[in-house]
Amino acid sequence: MNFFELNKAFGALLMALIFIMVSGMVTGFIFSADEPETPGYEIEVADAGDTAAPVEEVEKVDFSVLLADADPSKGERVAKKCAACHTFEAGGANKTGPHLHDVVGRDIASVTDFNYSDAMKSFGEGKTWDTETLNAFLTKPRDLVDGTKMAFAGLRKDGDRADLIKYLQTLSE
Protein backbone atom coordinates (compact mmCIF):
# COMPACT_ATOMS: atom_id res chain seq x y z
CA MET A 1 0.00 0.00 0.00
CA ASN A 2 1.48 3.32 -0.99
CA PHE A 3 1.36 6.62 0.83
CA PHE A 4 -1.54 7.92 -1.28
CA GLU A 5 -3.80 4.97 -0.34
CA LEU A 6 -2.90 5.32 3.35
CA ASN A 7 -3.66 9.04 3.19
CA LYS A 8 -7.15 8.32 1.70
CA ALA A 9 -7.96 5.78 4.46
CA PHE A 10 -6.83 8.18 7.19
CA GLY A 11 -8.89 11.00 5.62
CA ALA A 12 -12.01 8.78 5.47
CA LEU A 13 -11.63 7.88 9.16
CA LEU A 14 -11.16 11.53 10.09
CA MET A 15 -14.26 12.57 8.09
CA ALA A 16 -16.35 9.86 9.78
CA LEU A 17 -15.33 11.09 13.24
CA ILE A 18 -16.07 14.70 12.31
CA PHE A 19 -19.48 13.65 10.91
CA ILE A 20 -20.34 11.85 14.16
CA MET A 21 -19.33 14.86 16.29
CA VAL A 22 -21.28 17.34 14.15
CA SER A 23 -24.35 15.05 14.15
CA GLY A 24 -24.23 14.90 17.94
CA MET A 25 -24.01 18.69 18.23
CA VAL A 26 -26.88 19.27 15.79
CA THR A 27 -29.19 16.77 17.48
CA GLY A 28 -28.30 18.24 20.87
CA PHE A 29 -29.30 21.66 19.59
CA ILE A 30 -32.56 20.44 18.00
CA PHE A 31 -33.64 18.19 20.84
CA SER A 32 -32.49 20.17 23.86
CA ALA A 33 -34.07 19.39 27.22
CA ASP A 34 -34.42 21.79 30.10
CA GLU A 35 -32.86 20.36 33.23
CA PRO A 36 -34.92 20.73 36.42
CA GLU A 37 -33.56 22.60 39.42
CA THR A 38 -33.72 19.42 41.49
CA PRO A 39 -33.49 16.01 39.84
CA GLY A 40 -36.37 13.53 40.20
CA TYR A 41 -40.12 13.81 40.46
CA GLU A 42 -41.96 15.60 43.20
CA ILE A 43 -44.73 13.46 44.63
CA GLU A 44 -47.50 15.37 46.26
CA VAL A 45 -49.21 13.49 49.07
CA ALA A 46 -52.44 14.71 50.54
CA ASP A 47 -52.40 14.81 54.33
CA ALA A 48 -54.35 11.77 55.45
CA GLY A 49 -54.66 12.95 59.02
CA ASP A 50 -56.07 10.40 61.43
CA THR A 51 -58.36 8.75 58.88
CA ALA A 52 -56.16 5.68 58.54
CA ALA A 53 -57.70 2.46 59.77
CA PRO A 54 -56.08 0.97 62.84
CA VAL A 55 -53.75 -1.91 62.12
CA GLU A 56 -55.14 -5.21 63.33
CA GLU A 57 -52.76 -7.45 65.19
CA VAL A 58 -52.49 -10.97 63.85
CA GLU A 59 -53.67 -13.38 66.47
CA LYS A 60 -51.04 -15.97 67.34
CA VAL A 61 -52.62 -19.41 67.26
CA ASP A 62 -51.52 -21.94 69.85
CA PHE A 63 -49.85 -24.82 67.99
CA SER A 64 -51.28 -27.41 70.36
CA VAL A 65 -54.79 -26.33 69.28
CA LEU A 66 -53.80 -26.69 65.62
CA LEU A 67 -52.28 -30.09 66.33
CA ALA A 68 -55.45 -31.28 68.05
CA ASP A 69 -57.50 -30.34 64.97
CA ALA A 70 -54.92 -31.60 62.45
CA ASP A 71 -55.78 -34.13 59.74
CA PRO A 72 -53.28 -37.00 59.28
CA SER A 73 -54.49 -37.65 55.71
CA LYS A 74 -53.55 -34.07 54.79
CA GLY A 75 -50.26 -34.64 56.58
CA GLU A 76 -49.62 -37.69 54.42
CA ARG A 77 -49.97 -35.45 51.35
CA VAL A 78 -47.60 -32.88 52.87
CA ALA A 79 -45.16 -35.72 53.63
CA LYS A 80 -44.70 -36.29 49.89
CA LYS A 81 -42.36 -33.30 49.99
CA CYS A 82 -40.21 -35.29 52.41
CA ALA A 83 -40.29 -38.56 50.44
CA ALA A 84 -37.41 -37.56 48.19
CA CYS A 85 -35.02 -37.77 51.15
CA HIS A 86 -36.84 -39.86 53.78
CA THR A 87 -38.75 -43.14 54.04
CA PHE A 88 -41.77 -43.64 56.29
CA GLU A 89 -42.13 -47.44 56.50
CA ALA A 90 -41.19 -49.47 59.54
CA GLY A 91 -37.66 -50.70 58.98
CA GLY A 92 -37.35 -48.38 55.97
CA ALA A 93 -33.93 -47.62 54.59
CA ASN A 94 -32.22 -44.32 55.10
CA LYS A 95 -31.92 -42.10 52.05
CA THR A 96 -30.34 -38.66 52.08
CA GLY A 97 -32.10 -38.26 55.43
CA PRO A 98 -32.91 -40.84 58.11
CA HIS A 99 -36.13 -42.86 58.05
CA LEU A 100 -39.02 -41.10 59.78
CA HIS A 101 -40.98 -44.09 61.03
CA ASP A 102 -41.46 -43.76 64.79
CA VAL A 103 -39.80 -40.31 64.81
CA VAL A 104 -42.17 -38.65 67.30
CA GLY A 105 -40.74 -39.36 70.74
CA ARG A 106 -37.45 -40.70 69.36
CA ASP A 107 -34.14 -39.27 70.55
CA ILE A 108 -32.79 -36.65 68.15
CA ALA A 109 -29.94 -37.91 65.91
CA SER A 110 -30.39 -41.46 67.19
CA VAL A 111 -30.76 -43.58 64.02
CA THR A 112 -27.61 -45.68 64.35
CA ASP A 113 -26.90 -46.32 60.67
CA PHE A 114 -27.28 -42.68 59.57
CA ASN A 115 -24.41 -40.17 59.48
CA TYR A 116 -25.77 -36.99 61.10
CA SER A 117 -24.05 -33.62 60.86
CA ASP A 118 -22.04 -32.49 63.87
CA ALA A 119 -24.53 -29.63 64.34
CA MET A 120 -27.45 -32.07 64.56
CA LYS A 121 -25.55 -34.36 66.95
CA SER A 122 -24.75 -31.50 69.32
CA PHE A 123 -28.29 -30.09 69.06
CA GLY A 124 -29.84 -33.47 69.83
CA GLU A 125 -27.86 -34.33 72.95
CA GLY A 126 -30.42 -35.33 75.56
CA LYS A 127 -33.42 -34.20 73.48
CA THR A 128 -36.27 -36.04 71.80
CA TRP A 129 -38.41 -35.21 68.79
CA ASP A 130 -41.51 -33.94 70.59
CA THR A 131 -44.21 -31.97 68.80
CA GLU A 132 -42.80 -28.56 69.78
CA THR A 133 -39.29 -29.41 68.57
CA LEU A 134 -40.62 -30.92 65.33
CA ASN A 135 -42.74 -27.80 64.75
CA ALA A 136 -39.75 -25.50 65.26
CA PHE A 137 -37.51 -27.67 63.06
CA LEU A 138 -40.05 -28.01 60.25
CA THR A 139 -40.68 -24.25 60.22
CA LYS A 140 -37.13 -23.54 59.06
CA PRO A 141 -34.58 -26.28 59.79
CA ARG A 142 -31.47 -24.11 59.42
CA ASP A 143 -32.79 -21.56 61.92
CA LEU A 144 -33.13 -24.19 64.63
CA VAL A 145 -30.02 -26.25 63.79
CA ASP A 146 -27.45 -24.05 62.10
CA GLY A 147 -25.21 -26.37 60.11
CA THR A 148 -27.72 -29.16 59.49
CA LYS A 149 -27.32 -31.16 56.29
CA MET A 150 -31.06 -30.87 55.64
CA ALA A 151 -31.47 -28.63 52.59
CA PHE A 152 -35.27 -28.30 52.94
CA ALA A 153 -36.38 -24.67 53.29
CA GLY A 154 -39.22 -25.48 55.68
CA LEU A 155 -43.01 -25.40 55.84
CA ARG A 156 -44.39 -21.89 56.26
CA LYS A 157 -48.01 -22.77 56.99
CA ASP A 158 -48.82 -23.72 60.57
CA GLY A 159 -51.62 -26.00 59.38
CA ASP A 160 -49.31 -27.97 57.08
CA ARG A 161 -46.83 -28.51 59.90
CA ALA A 162 -49.60 -29.60 62.27
CA ASP A 163 -50.99 -32.05 59.69
CA LEU A 164 -47.53 -33.47 59.01
CA ILE A 165 -46.73 -33.94 62.70
CA LYS A 166 -50.13 -35.57 63.25
CA TYR A 167 -49.31 -37.97 60.38
CA LEU A 168 -45.89 -38.69 61.88
CA GLN A 169 -47.60 -39.43 65.20
CA THR A 170 -49.69 -42.11 63.48
CA LEU A 171 -46.44 -43.72 62.33
CA SER A 172 -45.17 -43.74 65.91
CA GLU A 173 -48.10 -45.58 67.48
CATH at residue 144: 1.10.760.10
| Mean pLDDT, residues 6-13 taken together | 94
Whole-model pTM?
Answer: 0.64
| 135 within some domain | yes
Number of domains comprising the chain: 1
| 69 within some domain | yes
Q: What is the pLDDT of residues 162-171, one digit of tens each?
A: 999 999 999 8
| 134 within some domain | yes
Tell me the residue range of the domain where 132 lies: 64-171
pLDDT at 30: 87
Q: Is 19 helix (H, G, I), strand (E, B) or coil?
A: helix
CA dist list (Å): 20 to 7, 23, 26, 27: 20, 5, 10, 11
| 33 within some domain | no
Asked if residues 8 and 1 have their Cβ atoms less than 8 Å apart, the reply is no
Nearest to 164 by CA among 92, 120, 104: 104
| 3 within some domain | no
Band the pLDDT of 39: cuts 50, 70, 90. Answer: confident
| 8 within some domain | no
Q: Is 107 helix (H, G, I), strand (E, B) or coil?
A: strand
| 132 within some domain | yes
Cβ-in-10-Å burial (0-12, 13-18, 19+) of 134 comes to: buried
pLDDT at 53: 61
| 160 within some domain | yes
Instruction: In whole angstroms, give the CA distance from residue 138 to residue 91.
Output: 23
pLDDT at 88: 92
